[in-house]
Amino acid sequence: IAASFVPKRLAGQQVLITAGPTFEALDPVRGLTNHSSGKMGFAIAAAARAAGAQVTLVAGPVHLPTPRGVRRINVQSARDMLAAVQGAADAASVFIAAAAVADWRPAEFAAQKIKKDGSGQVPGLTFVENPDILATIAASDRARSGQLYCVGFAAESDNLLAHASAKRLRKNVPLLVGNIGPATFGQDDNTLLLIDDQGSSALPRASKTALGHALVAEIARRLPSVGG
Ligand code: CTP
Ligand code: CA
């Protein structure tokens, strides 16, 4: 019932969202990942759907139910996530990068499980940088011409405003959302700092569900085709 009272601010919009961690395999039984719960991205997907959008959610490995009416694509690695996002970006009018993408992956994937050799020697792991999904999409023609509105997130341990403002410019996105405060991974509530070309403003501490709705409203009023 509550959903029917959400204004349909995103009717006619196609919203593409990344959520959760990525998993970068090292061998068939091991890999590199992080503690992202996916809750914020899933809450945004549900809120965008409630606001009338068609929603595609590209999700890393998380055990969360798919929000009703949302198309979900499950992926593991950053490269898989990029491919899924690129496959859906042409149809999208909004892209929200809420995933905690692993910045690096093991340089090599061992097709067989890496075994101890009994001598106490440890494997010398090397890493390579993953593609930046948000920056890649933000650099596309559709994003640059304003047909695809891109929203980034920033997880910082200190100096949020300065780091997030710099990140917004570096990634070339109109809106960057910072997580305020310590470790929000896995928590049910959060505080968000919105940074755009007008400056910054905070969304007060609330559940991720409520923040999803608030953020969707903030995005909707910034869309050239919707307005405030
Ligand atoms: N992001 C992405 N692909 C990556 C890394 C990050 O799409 N390979 C996106 C995230 O989903 C988020 C934004 O970029 O929306 C910022 O991610 P963050 O990890 O805060 O920034 P990085 O650019 O990776 O820089 P650092 O981790 O060093 O602060
Ligand atoms: Ca990162």
Q: Whose CA is nearest to atom 12 of ligand 1?
A: 153
Pick the CATH number of 2-106+126-222 from 3.30.2130.10, 3.40.50.720, 3.40.50.10300, 3.40.1190.10: 3.40.50.10300
Contact between 126 and 120 (Cβ < 8 Å):
no
pLDDT of residue 224: 84
**Ligand index nearest the alpha carbon of residue 129:** 1
Residue 149, strand partner residues: 94
Nearest ligand to residue 21 Cα: 1
Is 1 marked within a binding site? no
Q: What is the 171 CA–ligand 1 centroid distance (Å)?
A: 9
Whether 132 lines ligand 1, by a CB cut-off of 6 Å, is yes
Domain locations along the chain: 2-106+126-222
> pLDDT at position 185, please?
62
Task: State how far the Cα of 58 lies from the Cα of 72, in Å rounded to an integer.
Answer: 6
Q: Mutate which of 23, 32, 57, 101 to test ligand 1's pocket (most atoms within 8 Å of Cβ)?
A: 101
Ligand 1 atom closest to the Cα of residue 177 is 15
ipTM of this complex: 0.99
Cα within 13 Å of Cα(122), Cβ side:
3
Confidence (pLDDT) at 158: 84
Residues recognised as catalytic: 34
* Average confidence (pLDDT) per 10 residues, the chain, 228 residues: 73 98 98 96 98 98 98 98 98 98 98 94 95 98 97 90 96 94 66 95 93 97 75
Q: Which residues of 69-92 are buried (b: 16+ CB within 10 A; e: fewer)?
A: ebebbebbbbebbbbbbeebbeeb
- 132 marked as binding residue: yes
Beta strand pairing status for 175-179 and 189-196?
antiparallel
Question: What distance in Å separates the CA atoms of residue 40 and residue 131, rounded to the nearest whole number?
Answer: 22
Q: What is the pLDDT of residue 147?
A: 97
End-to-end C-alpha distance for the chain, whole angstroms: 25
- pTM across the whole model: 0.95
Of 126, 125, 184, 127, nearest in space to 153 by CA? 184
